[in-house]
Amino acid sequence: MEPTSFVLFGATGDLAKRKIYPALYNLFVDQKLPQSFSVIGLGRRELSDEEFQARVEQSLHDYSRREANDPVLIKNFISSFHYNVLNIGHKEDYQRLLQRIEQREDELALPPNRIFYLSVGPEYFDVIASNIKESGLGSAKGWKRLLIEKPFGHDLQSARDLNQKLSKAFAEEEIFRIDHYLGKPMVQELGILQQNNSVLDALWTNRYIANVQITANETVGVEERAGYYDQVGAVRDMFQNHMLQLLMMLAIHLPKNSTSEEVRLKKKKVMESLEPLQKQDVISNVVRGQYKAGTIQGNPVIGYTSEPNIAETSMNDTFIAAKLRIDAAFWREVPFYIRTGKRMKEKSTRIVIEFKEPLKQQSSANNESNIPNLLVFEISPNEGITLQLNTRDPQHKGEFKPIHIDFHTSRQDMPEAYENLLYDALHGDPTFFAHWDEVELSWKWVQPILHAFEENLVPLHHYQAGTYGPAESDELLAKDGYHWWFDS
């Protein structure tokens, strides 16, 4: 791996502490960082290098997947970290930063390969990108890469505007848009499994699949993010990005050994084939919800509009369920049901593929054993795959009972999403980052929902915290003769 400078904007922020430093540390322990590696942390407050290093070390103790208890290892790791004060709008600060980076490049004999990670609010993305360009920080002889987090825009137009501004300083292949769901190990497995197992590959079609259910339930509420969340809701916070990325990853049909370019084109194709929603479709195919007070795992929690800094009259969505269709050969007529919500009964992200029922004609209508085959991908907090099959019950001849073929991994062995993503970014592998085409097409598809919500065309259903969302979400499937699996 090529030696690199890792320049982190927002180095004293929450994401850096919780995710980025622990991920870098775990890569370091696994010897997956370049031999020569320099991290320059940037923030508004004054900090010495030592103070910064102490913060980084603390974050490892608090959040690292692996124990951080070997003082020599930790010292080696944090000695790569240095800190610079930077005010995002001050051009002269970028000049000072350039000198500091060059000084470290000289000291470590590093080529001028630079990653700029913007772990800051999206309102700063374009200012930073243009200052990187104007200061000459991005015009060294080596390569440069820009890493940014969602949200990428607020709607189609703002996303396009932002992309246009960024593209003045960075080419598309230099922009790595993080969607952390794409870094989750099971999500990365989705395409691979279908691609490398003929048994799955053969089944991956509307001939056998009845429907697909994609769920991302959370137990947390709005937390301390009222200012952000009340402006975006579940549709922008989760649906436009994470949920549609899960859909793309599941629906692509990849030939073996596909290149990252092929993956991108296939994902784009899925988005292009998603049947667009008209206003009327939004009303019948989308359910909007907001949590009210309830109990989660024995603990009482307050309703959304009683949360600090949320207006009593807020109509923001904390839950969304939708039915989508992909108008492409393999998927025609297969409904995809997607839902995500806060303050749900349990934390679980999973994809369930329900197969058509070969046993239907053979068994009586009320027969309990008449259970379809299911293929379940558990994405988080557990990671695993389960295949539900029907076997004959030896005790009760003539009846069938489901058995489960299970594969589960222990979390400890699994790299965190950010480890996978940072590793790929260091390698320059864009496969698991959101390409602009995907982002643009996702916003385009979601836009009618945003309008319908704004115009209040879709009723806001209140659901009790600690449940699986409003009853209307169940009805969405019931209309087609299905139900959400594993709601209990």
| Numbered residues of the known binding site for substrate | 180, 184, 218, 237, 342, 347
**Which of 57, 93, 237, 419 is close enough to bind ligand BG6 by CB under 6 A?**
237
Confirm or reject binding of residue 349 to ligand BG6 (CB under 6 A): yes
- Give the nearer residue to ligand BG6 in terms of CB position, either 216 or 477: 216
Confirm or reject binding of residue 472 to ligand BG6 (CB under 6 A): no
* Tokens linked to 376: 């379940």
The rounded distance, in Å, linking the Cα atoms of 342 and 347 is 9
For residues 10 and 42, the answer to whether their CB atoms sit within 8 Å is yes
Half-sphere exposure of 374 (CA within 13 A, CB side): 23
Confirm or reject binding of residue 380 to ligand BG6 (CB under 6 A): yes
Instruction: Exactly one of 90, 242, 427, 483 is catalytic; name it.
Output: 242
For residues 206 and 334, the answer to whether their CB atoms sit within 8 Å is yes
Instruction: Select from 75-83, 106-114, 212-220, 323-331 the region that touches ligand BG6 (CB under 6 A).
Output: 212-220
Provide the minimum distance between the beta carbon of 110 and ligand BG6 in the complex, in angstroms, as a whole number.
Answer: 32
Q: Binding site for NADP(+): which residues?
A: 10-17, 44, 150
Closest residue by beta carbon to ligand BG6: 237
Q: Is 90 a catalytic residue?
A: no
The rounded distance, in Å, linking the Cα atoms of 453 and 319 is 12
Confirm or reject binding of residue 218 to ligand BG6 (CB under 6 A): yes
Instruction: Select from 34-42, 84-92, 214-222, 251-259 the region that touches ligand BG6 (CB under 6 A).
Output: 214-222
Confirm or reject binding of residue 317 to ligand BG6 (CB under 6 A): no
Provide the minimum distance between the beta carbon of 397 and ligand BG6 in the complex, in angstroms, as a whole number.
Answer: 45
Confirm or reject binding of residue 383 to ligand BG6 (CB under 6 A): no
- Give the nearer residue to ligand BG6 in terms of CB position, either 54 or 220: 220
Provide the minimum distance between the beta carbon of 349 and ligand BG6 in the complex, in angstroms, as a whole number.
Answer: 6
Provide the minimum distance between the beta carbon of 249 and ligand BG6 in the complex, in angstroms, as a whole number.
Answer: 15
- Give the nearer residue to ligand BG6 in terms of CB position, either 224 or 327: 224
Provide the minimum distance between the beta carbon of 466 and ligand BG6 in the complex, in angstroms, as a whole number.
Answer: 17
- Give the nearer residue to ligand BG6 in terms of CB position, either 218 or 230: 218
Confirm or reject binding of residue 442 to ligand BG6 (CB under 6 A): no
What is the Cα Rg of the chain in Å? 24
Provide the minimum distance between the beta carbon of 264 and ligand BG6 in the complex, in angstroms, as a whole number.
Answer: 21
- Give the nearer residue to ligand BG6 in terms of CB position, either 86 or 178: 178
Q: Which residues are catalytic?
A: 242
- Using CB under 6 A, list all residues that contact ligand BG6: 216, 218, 220, 237, 349, 380
